Amino acid sequence: TDLSHIRNFSIIAHIDHGKSTLADRLIQQTGGLTEREMTSQVLDNMEIEQERGITIKAQTVRLNYVANNGETYELNLMDTPGHVDFAYEVSRSLAACEGALLVVDAAQGVEAQTLANVYQSIEHDHEIVPVINKIDLPAADPERVRTEIEDIIGIDASEAVLTSAKSGIGIAETLEAIVAKIPPPKGDRDAPLKAMLVDSWYDPYLGVVILVRVIDGVLKKGLRVKFMQAGTEHLIDRVGCFRPKIEQLPELGPGEIGFITAQIKEVAQTAVGDTITTVVRPAAKALPGFKQVQPVVFCGMFPVDAADFEKLRESISRLRLNDASFSFEMETSAALGFGFRCGFLGLLHLEIIQERLTREYDLDLITTAPSVVYRIQLNKSRTDDAREIMLHNPADYPDPSRIASIEEPWIKAVIYTPDEYLGSILKLCQDRRGVQKDLTYVGGRAQVTYELPLNEVVFDFYDRLKSISRGYASFDYEQIGLREGDLVKMNILVNAEPVDALSMIVHRGVAEARGRHMCERLKDLIPRHLFKVPIQAAIGGKVIARETIAAMRKDVTAKCYGGDISRKKKLLDKQKKGKARMREYGSVSIPQEAFIAALRMG
Ligand code: GDP
Ligand code: MG
């Protein structure tokens, strides 16, 4: 297609403002989908994505649109992942487009995620086309939202398209606005091939499918290409696009978005942001903005039933085939036996993987306290030189006498909230060691910027924020590097034995409160035993908090555990199968839920 007839765009929106519904309508209107196919949202194709209403993997759809001027345009609609955990993927998808539809709910108005996404879009020099959606709602106030877009975001919204994606209003106008407002791509067909690897996923029939945006040159079947960052070479065996059904094409020219396959077996070989060029006539320079993504949140995952370890290994390996951004290595825990230490891009990413393991692979898992990565400078010792370690498991915490300094990752968070919740939110940030950077008011809402240690956020910050604000506050963050902190390892001892899966790195200033809270929680979560069970939180040898679970009364004991061994065994078996799954720890049984529940700071 000639460049002037191509439009590449993404849709940005706060969650639930109607991005997927609008995308489906655009596909339907241009003939890619029937009414019946519309019923299941096409762009959110994974079960978990649908339930959580988020897009994990970017998808792209090509639409052929005959405009009012009679010309046919190739519209490439790129769907971007909607969560902070996947910020780098989002940035590459945006880099593949020249413009964006900004969808804002006509009743809700501009929200924090709208803002975060729109700023990114502006950074990529996008032409932004505002779309005010859900005008069918009784509470819709398009004029207020129009003013909000202009005041808060600072772009002209006088020609904003008014839509109801749900009832199909304003769809034709949206398509016209895309053609009229979003600039066509630039590119040189005769220059050496330069294509950006935007995304990749594993398909059981095609192998790894790679989504690309061609900058210069032409991609064709049979071409030998080189991935400049990875340094690997591949033979292209398919070129095509999605409409949204897969369609093979003779080529992808400059400015176009589509897919290639090249008999690649693992997504780990395809780094998002890599530059694809030809072997015979390579581009001089790779595309800017490439980054190797690194996991930032780590936790242990253990099977509840030790016999499931192999199944867990297989399941994790299989998931990893399709998600190169999470990592895993074997780990052993005194409390939990064999399992894996896994790394994730963030807590949502962790939850998604955990959910898939539980649901798709039918595994019962215990997940240990999530931890961020700390950088520790070690002093020289008699046997060891001074050196630096990256700690991502509290179990590997070195002898405190060897520690010269510990640094922890910090984030910059932007919270957007109705005024009435601001007080409680400021307190929450303050409790989590936050440093306030900015506070502004826009039309009855506050936008507050805080710097916070990531380890104070990974537990339940987001849940707390949502509950404090009854769901109205929104939250976005980016990492801003490492800072030194007075951090110590806190152990939890149950019946005088440390439970490694519950130990965590905490700031000394909050250690006592956190320790007390953990002990109180565990006291409620661990059932009574025949004997008194002390629960302690300790730093080094020093106990900082303590609770005691009283022993069971004799008559109760007699009923439960009395007499013959076979009955006791039956009871235990039943427990193992039933809901109340326990971990035998020394002589104490700890229910599975306790490991996670104890970490919620509530
Ligand atoms: P996304 O999270 O931005 O992708 O939002 P969705 O497209 O999944 O829409 C979120 C919810 O809003 C769904 O229940 C949609 O049916 C609904 N929705 C989307 N567009 C409209 C609209 O124009 N009017 C109304 N009333 N509801 C809409
Ligand atoms: Mg959606």
- Tens of pLDDT, residue by residue over 272-294, are 999 999 999 999 999 998 988 88
Answer yes or no: is the C-beta of 300 below 6 A from any ligand 1 atom. no
- Ligand 1 within 6 A of CB of 107: no
- In short, whether 126's Cβ falls inside 6 Å of ligand 1 is no
Tell which residue, 378, 331, 409, 371, has the closest CA to residue 505.
Answer: 371
Task: Please choose, from the candidates 8, 7, 9, 19, the residue with its C-alpha nearest in 3D space to the C-alpha of residue 113.
Answer: 19
Contact between 409 and 392 (Cβ < 8 Å): no
Tell me whether residue 16 is annotated as binding. Answer: yes
136 lines ligand 1 (CB under 6 A): yes
Residue 333 is predicted with a pLDDT of: 81
Q: Which residues contact 61 (CB under 8 A, 6 or more apart)?
A: 23, 27, 32, 42, 43, 76, 77, 79, 242, 243, 244
Q: Which atom of ligand 1 is nearest to the CA of 13?
A: 3
Amino acid (one-letter) located at 231: G
Q: Write down the mean pLDDT value for the chain.
A: 86
Tell me which amino acid residue 505 is.
I
578 φ, ψ (degrees, to nearest 5):
-75, -165
What atom in ligand 1 is closest to the CA of residue 43? 4
Q: Quick one: pLDDT at residue 448?
A: 94
| Ligand 2 center to 25 CA (angstroms) | 13
Closest CA to 488 of 503, 468, 477: 503
| Residue 50 in contact with ligand 1 by CB distance below 6 A | no
> Which residue CA neighbors atom 9 of ligand 1 most closely?
18
Match 């007075």 to its residue by tokens: 486
Q: Which atom of ligand 1 is nearest to the CA of 14?
A: 3
* 401 labeled part of a ligand binding site: no
Q: Annotation-wise, does 135 bind a ligand?
A: yes
Phi, psi dihedrals of residue 518, rounded to the nearest 5°: -60, -45
Cis amide prior to 244 (ω within 30 degrees): yes
The helix, strand and coil proportions of the chain, stated in percent and rounded to the nearest 5, come to: 30, 35, 35
Task: Report whether 134 belongs to an annotated binding site.
Answer: yes
Query: 393 labelled as ligand-binding?
Result: no
Residue 40 has which token pair? 């299941």
Tell me the pTM. Answer: 0.76
Among 11, 14, 15, 16, name the best residue to mutate to test ligand 1's pocket (greatest count of ligand atoms within 8 A of Cβ): 16
pLDDT beneath 50: ranges in the chain: 46, 48-50, 52-56, 58, 556-563, 575-580, 602
DSSP state of 40: S
Total H helices, total E strands in the chain: 16, 34
What's the pLDDT at 36? 57
Rounded to whole angstroms, the Cα distance separating 164 from 149 reads 18
Q: Classify 524 as helix, strand or coil.
A: helix
| For the CA of 15, the nearest atom of ligand 1 | 2
Q: Whose CA is nearest to atom 2 of ligand 1?
A: 16
15: Cβ below 6 Å to ligand 1?
yes
Q: Is the CB of 170 under 6 A from ligand 1?
A: no
- Whose atoms come closest to the Cα of 46: which ligand? 2
Is the separation of the CB atoms in 519 and 547 below 8 Å? Answer: yes
Whether the CB of 7 sits within 6 Å of ligand 1: no
**pLDDT value for 287:** 95
